Amino acid sequence: MLDRKERRRRAARARPFPEPWQTTLQERVPLYRRLPAGDRDEFHGLIQMFHGEKNFEGAGGFEMTETVKLIVAAHAAVLLLRRPTDIFPKLSSILVYPSEYAVKEQFANEDGFVEEIDEERSGESWQTGALVLSWEEIERDLSDDLQNVVLHEFAHQLDAESGEMNGAPILGDRDLRRRWPEAMSEAYERLVEADDRGEETLLDPYGAEDPAEFFAVVTEAFFLEPQALADQEPGVYTALRDYYRQDPAHW
């Protein structure tokens, strides 16, 4: 017997996908235009389930709209296609600010005293059920081939499903679990070394911060610049292809 959540999800998937939503996706979301036609029905269903289950809130005076919800939900759904996975089970709320927002950060200075500064951010993902985004950054990224803050932060949510954000999401396949550490760690070290030398790289240098940020950055590249990633880091591309069960280089 189906539980209440699954009955609700089946009902959401069965509803016709609104034409205005499809028009918005065609006009505003480049990934949607590239998506294989055979994935559209599943993709639409994932959007409707995500839209119905997650709570969206405007922050810092931002007025939440259906367009904002749809664009965020669409990028989140891309990461779930073809995979037998729950819909970001640890996530309940998405907060959207109009632009970058300030977060107070503490650090120890050279004298050992703790100082507090305001750090500007465009997105962050928490393990306590919330994800924060900047609408200004989202809009900017819709025309950017290399960066996408929504893909980045939702990749962190996938990473956290394993219990901590460490660059190793839940990997069901035994062969993938064997290949993943070597492929990711070697590419991560190459990015760190290139960043230290000041070299320009396909991958965002922010990925050199730690393995968790590296996973989020390579997820962006996998969907936004798949052929370039496959050429430069074939091991990473193959691992992500097997994890996401998609092959965007051939879309």
Q: Per-residue pLDDT tens for 58-106?
A: 999 999 999 999 999 999 999 999 998 889 999 999 999 999 887 765 5
Out of 111, 141, 171, a domain closes at: 141
Check residue 118 and give its pLDDT.
62
Domain with 4, as residue range(s), is 1-141
Query: Is residue 149 one of the residues assigned to a domain?
Result: no
Total structural domains in the chain? 2
Task: Name the β-bridge partners of 26.
Answer: none
User: How much is the pLDDT for 3?
Assistant: 72
The pLDDT mean for the chain works out to 91
pLDDT band at 117 (very low <50, low <70, confident <90, very high): low
Residue with token string 């996530």 = 91
Facing residues of 182 across strands? Answer: none
C-alpha dist (Å) from residue 82 to 43, 86, 125, 219: 9, 12, 23, 16
Say which residues have a Cβ less than 8 Å from residue 72's Cβ, sequence separation at least 6.
Answer: 56, 94, 96, 133, 138, 150
**Average confidence (pLDDT) over 27-55:** 95
Distance CA 70, CA 58 (A): 14
In this structure, which long-range contacts are made by residues 12-19, counting pairs with CB atoms below 8 Å and at least 24 apart in sequence?
12/45, 12/48, 12/49, 12/52, 13/45, 13/48, 13/49, 15/48, 17/44, 17/47, 17/48
For residues 90 and 192, membership in a common domain is answered with no
Q: Reply yes or no on whether the pLDDT at 107 is more than 80.
A: no
Are the CB atoms for 186 and 235 separated by under 8 Å? yes
Say if residue 193 is in the same domain as residue 118: no
pTM (2 decimals)? 0.91
Confirm whether 148 is domain-assigned: no
Average pLDDT over residues 20-33: 96
pLDDT at 27 over 90: yes
Query: What per-residue confidence (pLDDT) applies to 35?
Result: 96
Indicate whether 112 and 195 sit together in one domain: no
pLDDT tens-digit map of 143-199:
877 899 999 999 999 999 988 899 999 998 899 999 999 999 999 999 999 999 999
pLDDT of residue 135: 97
